[in-house]
Amino acid sequence: MNPLAPRSTARRTPLVLAVLTLIAILAFAAVSRLVTRLKANEKQIGWHAYEAGLIQAQAGHLENALDDFRAALTYDRDNPKYQLSLARALRDTGRFNEAEAYLLHLWDAAPQDSTINLALARLAARRQSVEDALRYYHNAIYGAWSSDPENNRRNTRFELIEFLLKQNARPLAQAELMALVQVLPPDPAAHLMVADLLRQTQDYESALAEYKMVLKLDHGNAAALTGGGDSAFHLGRYRTAEKYLQQAVALQPENTQARAQLQTATLVLQSDPFLHRVSDAERNRRITADFLHAGERLKSCAQSQEIDLPAKPVAGTVPPGPSANGLTSLWARWQAARPELRRLSSPTNADLPDALMDLVQDIEQQTAQQCGEPTGLDLALLLGARDREIADQ
C-alpha cells in the first residue's frame, strides 16, 4: 500500500473539487446548447408532422393522422397540443385505452384545463360511463377555457344534457338544464334550445316558460310557438295550446304535427262539458254527443274484435258496476245508462253528468287498450278524461 497517494489526493481535494465543478459547469453549458439545438430541430419536425396529421384528420383519414400525430410526439414528447390531438384521434378510432392514457397524462399536468376535461368527458361518454362523463363534463364547465369561456361552458353543458338524455338520466338532465337557465343570455336561440331540451325531459312547465321567454324575445318564432303549443298541450292547457298552435300553423302550414295537435286541442275544448263558461244546455248537449260517440267507438271496437254485442239489454240482468272492464260489460253499462240522457236537464240528478262522463272515460280507456290509439274526437275525449282524473286527484 502506498500511503502517499491518498494523502496527496486529500491535500489537493479543494482544488480538484473546484476544477471538477468548473468542468461540470462548462459541460452543462455545452450540453445545454446541444440539447437546445436538437430540441429546436425536433420541434420543427414535430410541427410539420402535426400539421400533416391535422390535414389527414380533417380529410377523415384517421389512421394516417394517428401515424403523423405519433411522429409529432416522437419529436416533441411533452407537447400537450399534439398529445390532445393524438388522444382525440385515438378516441375517434376506438382506441379508448390509449386515448385515456394520453388524456390522463395531460390531465395530471393540468387538471383544470377544460379542453382536456372535455376530451375525457367525451371519451367517458363513448364508453357510456355516466359517472365519469358527469365528472369530466363538470370539470370542463367549471374549468379554465383559453378563449370564449361563456360560450364554451354553455355548449359543454348542452353536450352534457344531450348525453344524459341519451342515457335516460332525466333527473340529472333536468338539474343541468335548471343550472343552464340561470346563466343564459337574452338570446332566443339559446332559450329555444333549452326549452326543447326541457321538453325532452318532460318538464313541460319549465319548457313552456322558456318558450314564452323566446317569444318575448322573438315574437314570431315558429319553433317556439310549436314547442310552446306542444308543452301546453301536454300540460292539459288546451286553450293556450290552441293559441300557440294556431299561430304556428299559420306560419308553417306544412307542419302536419302541429296541425294534428291543434285539431285535437280544438276537439278537446269543443267536447269537454265541464269547461268554464259553458252553459247548462251546452254542457248537456256535449255530454249527450260524447256519450253517443263513445257508444259508437265501443261498437266499432267490438266489431273489430269480433265480439257480438246484444242489440237490447238482457232482461233481469243488473248492469255491471264500473269495475267491470270487458267490452260486453261496458256495452251493458252504456245501454243501461242511455235512457238517463233524457234526465240530464233535471235538477235532481246533479251526479248524472259525472256518472255519464265517467262511463265515457271507461269506454275510451278500454277501447284504447284493446283497439289501438284513438284519434279525432276519441282522442280528445280520452285526453279530457285524463285531465279531469288528474285534476280530481
Partner 1 sequence: MSASPITAPSVSARGGFANALASRFARLTLGTDFEEERFFLILSIFIGVFSGLAVVCFRVAIDWSRIALLGPLPHPSALRIIGAPTAVGLLVAILVVHFFPAVRGSGVNQTKAALYIFNGYIPFKNAVGKFICSALAIGSGQSLGPEDPSLQIGASLASALGRRLEFSREKLRLLAPVGAAAGLAAAFNAPISAVLFVIEEVIGRWSAGILGSVVLSAISSVVVMRWFLGADAIFRIPVTTFVHPGELIAYAGLGVAGAFAAAIFSRSIGFFRPRLRALPRWTQYFQPAAAGLLIGLIGWIGFPQVMGAGYEFMDQAMHDQFTWRMLAALAGLKILATTLSFVSGTPGGMFAPTLFIGAMLGGAVGGIERHFFPLLTVSTGTYALVGMGVLFAAFLRAPMTSVFMVLEVSGNYSIIVPVIVANTVAYVISRSLQPIPIFDTLTRQDGLVLPSLEEQRDEHILHVEDAMQPVPTTILDGNSPVEMAELRARDLPDKVFLVRMAPSGWSCLTRNLLERLIKEGKGALTLASVLPTKRLPYLYPDLPLDSALRHVSEAELIPVVNRADLRMLEGVVTRNDVLTRYQADAVAD
Specify the residue, 67 or 162, whose C-beta has the smaller distance to partner 1: 67
CB of 55 to partner 1, least distance (A): 15
Specify the residue, 8 or 346, whose C-beta has the smaller distance to partner 1: 8
CB of 12 to partner 1, least distance (A): 5
CB of 49 to partner 1, least distance (A): 7
Specify the residue, 135 or 243, whose C-beta has the smaller distance to partner 1: 135
User: Measured between alpha carbons, how far is 268 from 288 in angstroms, rounded to an integer?
Assistant: 15
The residues pairing with 113 across neighbouring beta strands, listed in sequence order, are 144
Specify the residue, 98 or 196, whose C-beta has the smaller distance to partner 1: 98
Residues at the interface with partner 1 (CB under 8 A): 1-2, 5-6, 8-18, 20, 23-24, 27-28, 31-32, 34-35, 38, 41-42, 45, 48-49, 67-68, 70-71, 74-75, 77-78, 95, 97-98, 100-102, 104-105
3-state class of 113 per DSSP? strand
CB of 74 to partner 1, least distance (A): 6
CB of 25 to partner 1, least distance (A): 10
Q: How far is CA 40 from CA 46, 80, 81, 86, 291, in A?
A: 10, 16, 17, 21, 88
CA 2 to chain centroid, in Å, comes to 87
The residues pairing with 144 across neighbouring beta strands, listed in sequence order, are 113
User: Measured between alpha carbons, how far is 226 from 279 in angstroms, rounded to an integer?
Assistant: 31
Residue type, 25: I
User: Measured between alpha carbons, how far is 31 from 309 in angstroms, rounded to an integer?
Assistant: 102
Specify the residue, 5 or 390, whose C-beta has the smaller distance to partner 1: 5
DSSP annotation of 138 reads H
CB of 47 to partner 1, least distance (A): 11
- Residue 265 CB: number of other CB atoms within 10 A? 25
All three cell numbers of 291: 256519450
Residues 133 and 114 sit within 8 Å (Cβ to Cβ)? no
Specify the residue, 58 or 97, whose C-beta has the smaller distance to partner 1: 97
Task: Using the structure block, give the residue that is written with the C-alpha cell 310552446.
Answer: 228
